[in-house]
């Protein structure tokens, strides 16, 4: 499923923190406890592409039925960069089919 690393900033006490969510949720400040902070930045982690020493691209995605963690599964491995980019787009579709 869609998976994000969100960055937050509390303007009440200046605390900055990150959290991983399956959506762009509001979060509570871990320092002073004030709530309803919206992410100032959000990184989509639904799909990750890893490369090894031999420049093989491994495309992982978080399946649509994943629960409270991303539960990455390997979609494919390839040495062809353009194919890896295509598979990455495909993987985003698989992680968030709606
Ligand atoms: Zn705070």
- Contact between 61 and 72 under an 8 Å Cβ cutoff? The reply is yes
Distance (Å) from CA 17 to ligand 1 centroid: 10
State the CB neighbour count (10 A cutoff) for residue 92: 15
Q: Are residues 85 and 50 in the same domain?
A: yes
Structural domain of 35 = 4-43
Q: Are residues 89 and 50 in the same domain?
A: yes
pLDDT, tens digit, 9 for 90 and up, residues 6-22: 999 999 999 999 998 88
Distance (Å) from CA 5 to ligand 1 centroid: 19
Backbone angles phi, psi at 91, to 5 degrees: -65, -35
Distance (Å) from CA 15 to ligand 1 centroid: 5
Q: Are residues 53 and 35 in the same domain?
A: no
Distance (Å) from CA 13 to ligand 1 centroid: 4
* pLDDT score of 1: 79
Q: Are residues 50 and 39 in the same domain?
A: no
CA distance 9 to 29: 8
Distance (Å) from CA 28 to ligand 1 centroid: 8
CA distance 27 to 35: 6
- DSSP character at residue 35: -
Q: What is the pLDDT along the chain (98 residues), one digit of tens a residue?
A: 788 899 999 999 999 999 988 866 799 999 999 999 999 999 999 999 999 999 999 999 999 888 788 899 999 999 999 999 999 999 999 998 66
* pLDDT score of 96: 83
Q: Which residue has the tokens 């390997």?
A: 74
Per the structure, how many domains does the chain have? Answer: 2
């Amino acid at each position: 499923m869609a998976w994000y690393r969100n960055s937050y900033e509390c303007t009440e006490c200046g605390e900055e923190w990150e959290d991983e969510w399956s959506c762009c949720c509001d979060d509570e400040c871990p320092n002073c406890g004030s709530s309803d902070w919206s992410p100032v930045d959000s990184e989509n982690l639904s799909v990750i592409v890893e490369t090894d020493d031999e420049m093989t691209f491994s495309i992982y995605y978080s399946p649509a039925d994943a629960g409270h963690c991303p539960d990455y599964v390997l979609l494919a491995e390839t040495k062809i960069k353009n194919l890896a980019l295509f598979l990455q787009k495909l993987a985003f579709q698989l992680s968030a089919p709606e």
